Amino acid sequence: MSSPPPALPPDQPDCDVAIVGGGTAALCAALAARRKGASVMLLDQAPPDQRGGNTRHSRNLRIMHGAPSPLFPGSYDEADFAADLTKAAEGAENEALAQVLIRQSATIPGWLAAEGVVFQTIACGGLPWSRKTAFFLGGGKAMINTLYATATRLGIAIHHHSHVTGLTPDGLVTMCDEADKARTIRAKAVVVASGGYQANPVWLAEQWGDDAAALVVRGTPFAAGEPLRALFDLGAARVGTPGACHLVAVDGRLTEADGGIVTRVDGLAQGIAIDRDGRRFEDETAITGPTRYAQWGRRVAALPGAIAHAVWDEDGIERTPPAILEPIRADSLEALAELLDMPLATLAVTAADSGRVSRAPFFTVPIRPGITFTCYGVKIDDHARVLTDDGQPLGCLYAAGMIMAPNVIGTGYLAGAALTIGAVFGRIAGEEAADHALG
Amino acid sequence: MRLDDPHEEARRVLRLCNVCNYCNGYCEMFRAAERHRTFSDGELATLAHLCHNCRNCWQACQYAPPHPYAVNVPLVLAELRLLSQAELAWPRPLPHLGLLTLGVTLLPVLLVLLLVPGEVLFAAHTGPGAFYRVVPWGVMSLAAAIPLGWSVLALAVGVARFWRAGGGGSGAEMRAAAPEAIRDAVTLRNLDGGGAGCDEGYGSLSFQRKRFHHLVFAGFLLCLASTSVATIYHHLLGLEAPYPYLSLPVILGSLGGLGMIAGSLGLLGLKRGANPATSAPAAQESGRLLLIQLVAMAVSGLVLLALRDGPAMGILLALHLGTVLGFFVALPHGKFAHAPYRAAALLRAALERRKDER
């Protein structure tokens, strides 16, 4: 015969610090809080094999550093980093927080290495030349695996399948568990590190309308943004722009979530890009450099139906970089017009005018805008406390990662910055939340 | 999304790997794959043998199952290693290698029981030439030389075909690339997971596999050295086995045997803990067979050493001889073949690296 469990006092907390999320910011917050002596619960919506948020698809961190090292050639000083950040944020960044980000970035490789993370050295070979970013050996998922292993070893309670739907300023976290059972976690402080709402087409439709459904989710399918919505509902001040997001041109045949970086469409400068009516809409050769994927993503999203088609001829296709799927082949312009359901006359004029698409057979790939993250979140102070519109901390709630990234990068994008924001503000939020909880 | 044909599956997967590139810090396989836009069967075989099966790329893969892209590099390359060795082999691989090996191993015991009179077989023999009073030197040498010669020839043909299928190369190129290739083979540079250690099953990293492999390899070389020194003793110095406990052949052979036993048992233990998701069953089996053979050779040799002055020497000698013959017979079609194939793949990689630098 089992005795009934002893009744807990009604205000007995389940942990000192609850972390909402499962990516870089969440793990860094969890580890930092645990290292301060707090008991920590990490609530991640994903199942174990999809843990890690968008970090699974990432590879590098943007780091300030003064001299060449095994991880970087050259140097990248504070002014360099600040200039890049201001340019990306178009001046929308909070300067004090940007300075925190930049200065603390310098300590992140060492801090992560102490938690077991291994970086890929230049000597190892295979890396692109990068003065500004450090690469994880094996990429983001390897880093995530290491941090989860460390977190487990340190006694952090990790709960996957934990779908957080509600928050209160005094540390109550409402969630559904694996069996879809509602549960409330009581914590002395809560770090919300659940990212944006890029996987929530209903919310995106508020600005995007019907086109929201055409956006391919490039990363985790669990970024529906409920914790962000909960913070807004509690009166958190907003930063960034509703509906603003990072978009990338992806292969329209690969529409499942979690495609990561291999679904990007490249090589458009070797061919042409046409809209659904068969007309070009850009000078393809003018869109170059590492931001070309994002430039194309934005342009395709603005087209009717949010779709475009890349077309190459036999010479052009030879010069495109390799992709994971073969392009679709059409043996003649007539066959291509039929395949793409376009008027042959328009297509023929487009092809002839371009000067780049002349020799059959032709090859085509549908292009869709892929959404990486949204640029709309909550305002924080330099303790990573969530602020209300009147500038007051919102109870015991802290925020880190993409949910607060617009504080430092506006609606812009800078390679490797998202992970640095997650690590720097995750660590701050974890330490501050632990201090708050342990009083 | 996984394809049934290992060649097509490897093409699909490596094509994806080349777009992603995140794993290229782990090993030479990924850096070598990046040199290709398309992959011939021979190039795939070379890449497959560059993989040392450290499995870090499996743990790190953002596209590993249950992701629909179902990328599993270690598994498809393990399958391809076996397949390519079978396809390139001359003569065709023998079926039931394990049973055949067992039969060959036990054959000398059966033969001495049948052919050597009991009073000779079970007598205590001591002094120079003691072994040869049970199995005459000429018989022993011939029994070893025939299967060894055949196997080395078969292995050489397979590796030569492998080299040509991977793209061939001039003698000068090969000589220039050889020092780097030898360094990579001896140090197992590609079995340290890019410096972090290798996955031992479920995400924990260590250098155990590399260290156990070093033990096996060093032990094997010491045994080879022991045999070579003994050959010199026999032919040049006129000294006949058995040799004293403190002689060079016995010391080298004993140390080598202990190394092979420790390393092989360590590797067998790691195999038990291996994640089945990344293991091709046939590859596991052939690996296990070789390790068991190495242990059997070493243990039977050491027991023979310990009991050589007693009446059990004859049977123990036949058994040790049997384990050696079994090893020779399995040589070209078993796991041992990975050594020359991998060395050739490392030579190819070193050669290509040198071309890149020019």
- Contact of B331 with B38, CB cutoff 8 Å: no
Distance CA B7, CA B1 (A): 14
* E-only strand ranges, chain B: 198-199, 205-206
Of all residues in chain B, the one with the smallest CA distance to A263 is: B19
Of all residues in chain A, the one with the smallest CA distance to B56 is: A138
Identity of the residue numbered B290: L
| Mean pLDDT calculated for residue range B217-244 | 96
- Per-residue pLDDT for B84 more than 90? yes
Identity of the residue numbered B357: E
Domain positions in chain A are: 15-245+375-438, 246-370
CATH number corresponding to A246-370: 3.90.700.10
pLDDT of A1 reads 42
Q: Does B19 touch chain A (CB under 8 A)?
A: yes
Distance CA B122, CA B315 (A): 8
Prior bond of B242 cis (ω within 30°): yes
CA-to-CA separations, A266 to A10, A309, B307, in angstroms, rounded: 58, 12, 71
**Which residues in chain B are contacts of A125 at CB distance < 8 A?**
24-25, 31
What is the value of pTM for the model shown?
0.94
What are the φ and ψ backbone dihedral angles of B96, each rounded to 5 degrees? 50, 55
- Per-residue pLDDT for B202 more than 80? no
What are the φ and ψ backbone dihedral angles of B112, each rounded to 5 degrees? -65, -35
Candidates B271, B289, B282; CA nearest to B327 is B289
- Contact of A271 with A319, CB cutoff 8 Å: no
- Which residues of chain A carry a pLDDT beneath 70? 1-10
pLDDT of B95 reads 83
pLDDT of A4 reads 56
Fold classified for A15-245+375-438 = FAD/NAD(P)-binding domain (3.50.50)
- Farthest-apart Cα atoms in chain B, separation: 72
Distance CA B296, CA A69 (A): 49
| Mean pLDDT calculated for residue range B7-18 | 97
Identity of the residue numbered A8: L
Report the SS3 class of residue A391. Answer: coil
Q: Does A113 touch chain B (CB under 8 A)?
A: no
Average pLDDT, chain B: 95
Of all residues in chain B, the one with the smallest CA distance to A138 is: B23
pLDDT of A5 reads 53
CA-to-CA separations, B140 to B118, B129, B198, B232, in angstroms, rounded: 19, 12, 42, 17
Distance CA A14, CA A284 (A): 56
Q: Does B66 touch chain A (CB under 8 A)?
A: yes
Beta pairing, strands A393-399 & A182-192: parallel
**Which residues in chain B are contacts of A50 at CB distance < 8 A?**
66
Beta pairing, strands A308-312 & A362-378: antiparallel
Test A142 with B37 for CB contact under 8 angstroms.
no
Q: A352-381: per-residue pLDDT in tens?
A: 999 999 999 999 999 999 999 999 999 999
Two tokens at A418? 């998202």
Distance CA A115, CA A151 (A): 9
Domain positions in chain B are: 6-88, 97-357
How many residues are listed for chain A in this entry? 439
Please report which confidence band the pLDDT of residue B200 belongs to, taking 50, 70 and 90 as the band edges.
confident
Test B68 with A126 for CB contact under 8 angstroms.
no
Q: Give the A window 360-379 contacts with B, CB below 8 Å.
A: none
pLDDT of B153 reads 97
Test A124 with B194 for CB contact under 8 angstroms.
yes
Distance CA A291, CA A308 (A): 18
Q: Does B56 touch chain A (CB under 8 A)?
A: yes
Distance from CA of B71 to the nearest CA of A (A): 12
Helix/strand/coil (H/E/C) assignment for every residue in A280-319: ECCCHHHCCCCCHHHHHHHHHHCCHHHCEEEEECHHHHHC
